[in-house]
Structures are given as C-alpha cells and as structure tokens.
Amino acid sequence: MKEKSMRVVKSAQERKNEILDVAEQLFEEKGFDNASTNDIINRIGIARGTLYHHFASKEEILDAIVERMTKEGICKASLIVKERNVPICERLTAAIMALNIKEGAATEVFDQIHRPQNALLHQKMQERLLDGVVPIIEGLIREGNETGLFDSRYPKEAAEMIMIYSSVAFDELMNLSNEDILKKGQAFAYHIEKLLGAKENSLFDVIMKIIAGQNK
C-alpha cells in the first residue's frame, strides 16, 4: 500500500511554494489548529525533515501564507492610489476594499477565517493589512484635505479607524441578509463621510456601487 519513497528533488523556492499551496488549502479545509504538519507532508508526499528543512516551524508557514495573501491586496491598493486622474473618492473606496479580496480562490479562506481555530491567522492578517494599508489611506486623506474634498484633523487615526472597522465588520458579512448588508454599507459610507468631513453623499454612491457588485 505504502508508496516507495521515490526521492524527488526540487529547488528550494519551488518546494516552499508547494508547501505553502498545500498548507493554505489545508488551513482552509480544517483551520490552522486542526491542520497538522503531518497532513501537509502526507498530502505532498514528503518527509517530516523536508518540511522543517524549509520552514523552522508551523507558525513560520502561517506567516509566509499571510505574507503571500496580503501582498497582492496591498500592492493593488498602493497602485490604485497613485492614479491621480481618478477621483479621490473612487480611489479611497477601491483602496479600502482592496483587502476584502473576496474574489476568486480566496473565497473559502474567508469563510473559515473566523472559526476559532483560525484566530491566529485572522489576527496576523489583520495586523499586516492594517500596517500596509493604513499609510496608503492616510496619504489619500491628506490629498483630499488639500483638494478641499475632506476636512480631517487626524488623517492617520481616521485611516486606522476606517480600516479597523471595515476589517472586522465586513468579516461577518456572510451571515447577514441582503438588506442588512445594504444597511451596513450605507451606514459605513455615511460614517466615513462624517469622519473625513466630506460632503454628504460624496462617498455614498461609489461605496454602494462596490458593495452591490460584491454579492452579485
């Protein structure tokens, strides 16, 4: 039954990615705590030592996954912000939503992410996204201040507040009915306007458009 241990050698980078792919998949399926390093090595078909040759610990694997998952969102956000011909409000909403990467493959991750087994994953993702995106949003708010679109006395803290709220509140979106989601989105837009001292409805429409597109 047991396969003979055919020795297959790959480049470190290739093997690392393979491990991360499988680990991510497994964390989605069973949660971080429940997925064991044995699960990982069995599914790939490598030995225990191989795994620990590439990663020092299970937590380091998690860190690498978080890194990989967040990098894309943060890059996207920082690109969007630089498009100075796009209206600030649109850039702002796009940047905020860049972390809610609900698109494509990552969907299942976000379903599992709040389960208690994934508290650590959740915390690390949030931390990293906050560190990465808050400065970007902050810059945007400052730009809006100069343009006269916004009037925010504490851009950094406002950015923090927006990002923290959206990362926690939009986590639990899937449990809500469609009208609840709508209301939550409206409230979010309304509050951001207040927070940034923006004109009423200056953000409302563009935010609602994105939220509507989200669950089509």
Residues that bind its own copies (CB under 8 A): 59, 116, 119-120, 122-124, 153-154, 156-158, 160-161, 164-165, 168-169, 183-184, 186-188, 190-191, 194-195, 197
Q: Which is nearer to DNA, 93 or 118 (CB)?
A: 118
The distance of closest approach from Cβ of residue 103 to DNA in the complex, given in angstroms and rounded to an integer, is: 30
CA–CA gap between residue 49 and residue 1 (Å, rounded): 22
From the list 1, 49, 104, 177, which residue makes contact with DNA (rule: CB under 7 A)? 49
Q: Which residues contact 130 (CB under 8 A, 6 or more apart)?
A: 160, 163, 164, 167
Q: Which residues contact 145 (CB under 8 A, 6 or more apart)?
A: 151, 152, 155
From the list 17, 21, 25, 37, which residue makes contact with DNA (rule: CB under 7 A)? 37
Q: Are 40 and 25 in contact, with CB atoms under 8 Å apart?
A: no
The distance of closest approach from Cβ of residue 210 to DNA in the complex, given in angstroms and rounded to an integer, is: 38
Per-residue binder mask for DNA (CB under 7 A), 63-102, x = binder: ----------------------------------------
Find which of its own copies, DNA, none residue 161 binds, CB within 5 to 8 Å per kind. its own copies
Instruction: Identify which range of 47-55, 78-86, 90-98, 131-139 contacts DNA by CB under 7 A.
Output: 47-55
- The three-point CA angle 209-133-101 to 5° equals 50
Residue 42: both structure tokens together: 């069995």
Q: Are 48 and 37 in contact, with CB atoms under 8 Å apart?
A: yes
**Residue 99, φ and ψ in degrees, nearest 5:** -85, -30
Find which of DNA, its own copies, none residue 186 binds, CB within 5 to 8 Å per kind. its own copies
